[in-house]
């Protein structure tokens, strides 16, 4: 029991130390591309006070892509900071100003209230569950370690189990110059063809500086950092 309490205390101190080093507010801007063609722009704003957090992620089509298809997406997540990292409380996704999906996490009842359009459901809530937006920022409160991670994610449609793995340390070319990163990738299992990769910058508090979504047809949407603005 003493060993368990000691390990828990060390984990809590590790998360507190990470939170202490991270500015209370960080704005990250991204260029969004499909292949070699820029199709949009994105901005994330992450705020925390060491106990709670909020992240707002906005993206929209730009240039010629905006003339063909208008997409203005906003994802907002709020939650608390625990000894295990970020624990989401609420998640909302809107597209072109209309609510698309949402999730409310009730950790006491261990259930999540999900909404996808008109469809609503209550589902079991496993301990290691994140919403899609909070997940990438969790590494700022717990550095990615070598090996696989079994976890759960939701975007309001369902709570689904995934396995992620740390691929390697990589140098990422950006408009801000080369960045040392850790590459984390979703492990595709069975007939799952939807990929997700995130690169977190080791010299920028392990914040996400590149995010890539791959659709089941192989189409990839790549967001790469163009600006990082911390505020104190």
For 20-52, the pLDDT digits (tens) are: 589 999 999 999 998 888 999 999 999 999 999
If we measure between CA atoms, which residue out of 157, 61, 149 comes closest to residue 114?
Answer: 157
Name the β-bridge partners of 93.
75, 101
Task: For the chain, list the strands marked E by DSSP.
Answer: 25-34, 37-48, 52-61, 72-82, 85-95, 98-106, 111-116, 119-124, 129-131, 148-154, 159-174, 177-186, 195-201, 207-214, 220-231
pTM of the model: 0.87
User: Would you say residue 5 has pLDDT above 60?
Assistant: no
With a CB cutoff of 8 Å and minimum separation 6, the contacts of 12 are 83
The span from the CA of 22 to the CA of 125, in Å, is 28
Q: Could you tell me the residue ranges of all domains in the chain?
A: 2-231
User: Would you say residue 1 has pLDDT above 50?
Assistant: no
pLDDT tens for each residue of 127-184: 999 999 999 999 999 888 888 999 999 999 999 999 999 999 999 999 999 999 999 9
CB 147 within 8 A of CB 166: yes
CB 221 within 8 A of CB 210: no
The span from the CA of 120 to the CA of 129, in Å, is 19
The span from the CA of 105 to the CA of 93, in Å, is 15
Just give the CATH number of 2-231: 2.50.20
Name the β-bridge partners of 145.
none
């Amino acid at each position: 029991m003493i060993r368990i309490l000691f390990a828990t205390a060390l984990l809590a101190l590790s998360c507190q130390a990470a939170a202490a080093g991270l500015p209370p507010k960080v704005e990250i801007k991204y260029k969004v591309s499909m292949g070699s063609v820029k199709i949009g722009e994105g901005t994330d704003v992450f705020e925390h006070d060491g106990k709670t957090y909020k992240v707002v992620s906005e993206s929209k089509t730009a240039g010629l892509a905006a003339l063909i298809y208008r997409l203005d997406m906003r994802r907002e997540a709020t939650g608390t900071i625990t000894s295990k990292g970020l624990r989401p409380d609420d998640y909302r996704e809107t597209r072109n100003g209309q609510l698309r999906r949402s999730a409310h996490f009730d950790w006491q009842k261990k259930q999540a209230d999900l909404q996808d359009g008109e469809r609503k459901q209550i589902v079991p809530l496993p301990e290691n569950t994140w919403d899609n937006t909070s997940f990438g920022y969790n590494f700022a409160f717990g550095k990615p370690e070598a090996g696989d991670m079994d976890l759960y994610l939701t975007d309001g449609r369902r709570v689904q189990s995934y396995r992620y793995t740390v691929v390697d340390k990589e140098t990422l070319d950006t408009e801000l110059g080369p960045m040392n990163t850790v590459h984390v990738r979703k492990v595709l299992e069975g007939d799952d063809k939807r990929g997700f990769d995130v690169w977190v910058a080791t010299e920028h508090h392990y914040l996400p500086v590149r995010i890539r979504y791959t659709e089941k047809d192989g189409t990839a949407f790549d967001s790469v950092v163009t600006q990082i603005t911390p505020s104190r």
